[in-house]
Amino acid sequence: ALLSGARNAKNINLSQKVFDRMKNLFADLKHSMISASILLANVYASSGDIEQASNIRIQLHKSGAKKKVGLSLTEIDGIIMQFRAHDQSHPRSSEIYAEGERISKELIEHGHGYDASWIVRPMENDETIESIFCGHSERLAIAANFIDNRKPSRIHITKNLRVCGDCHRATKLIAAIRQCEIIVRDANRIHHFSPNGQCSSVLQQVDTSNISTSIDSTRRCPSINELLKFEQLKLPRIRRS
């Protein structure tokens, strides 16, 4: 939590000190140290030190550590849809991306500015700051809920990684623009984005890393709650702030 706080504050010195302390105290907790290393790399990347971030990732690769694939799940008309970042595998990907572009245009019209400091890898030649964020798995899941001129009153999304700061800001605005509740359960929190543009979040202690990577995206399912129950991720009551 302290390392996450230092990352959010973009404090490189504090982040490095916290990481070094963790390494001395918890060297045997390999999974936790892998997560901490990735977070530290993100701190350096968000602060513009891409070289140091790359060095950390290279060391992780040499150690045999594998980066967790980010997944977002949502249910639409009784069908569970699964998305990876920049996923093109869905049969209606062109429509989903078109809706994502419409949402992005609305965000910009309402004053949203994309925060490049949350981009933690080198950009490809054909990428833009906007396209990177619009391709995040939770953004694709949100867009999918609005294709076919749908006007959902509530959207549920489960993600096995943390929501980045830019997507958090964007989702608050999307909820306000589209007048829709958006509930996102990520690795650390349950975020409840209200139509008034606010977010109330609840810190959770459960592990979302068990989300299956082999779910059939076209499989019929009565409700997202059954999926959460299956993964032992029962959604608690959320208080509005």
Residue 23 C-beta-side C-alpha neighbours within 13 Å: 10
pLDDT for res 237? 42
Give tens-digit pLDDT for 61-75: 777 777 778 899 999
Sequence-ordered list of residues with C-beta below 8 angstroms from that of 151, at least 6 positions apart, any chain: 178, 180
* Of 67, 66, 74, 71, the residue nearest 211 (C-alpha): 71
Q: What dihedral do alpha carbons 31, 39, 104, 238 form, nearest 10°?
A: 60
How confident is the model over 186-210, as pLDDT tens digits? 988 899 999 999 998 765 544 444 4
What are the Cα distances from residue 19, in Å, to 38, 56, 119, 130?
11, 12, 21, 31
Taking 80 as the threshold, does the pLDDT of residue 15 lie above it? yes
The answer to which of 44-48, 151-155, 224-228 has the lowest mean pLDDT is 224-228
Confidence of residue 79 (pLDDT cuts 50, 70, 90): very high
Lookup: tokens for 166: 């830019």
What mean pLDDT is reported for the chain? Answer: 79
Average pLDDT, integer, range 7-21: 78
Helices (H), 110-233: 129-134, 137-144, 165-178, 224-230
User: What pLDDT does 2 receive?
Assistant: 63
Are the C-beta atoms of residues 44 and 56 closer than 8 Å to each other?
Answer: yes
The confidence score (pLDDT) of residue 1 equals 55
Q: What is the H or E stretch that residue 81 is in? A: strand 79-84
For residues 16-36, average pLDDT: 78
The confidence score (pLDDT) of residue 90 equals 92
pLDDT of residue 68: 75
Taking only the tens place, the pLDDT of each residue in 131-171 is 999 999 999 999 999 998 889 999 999 999 889 889 999 99
pTM: 0.69
Q: Return d(Cα 142, Cα 8) in angstroms, integer.
A: 24
**Cα distance between residue 211 and residue 141, in whole Å:** 15
Compute the average pLDDT of residues 83-111: 95
DSSP 226: H
Confidence of residue 7 (pLDDT cuts 50, 70, 90): low
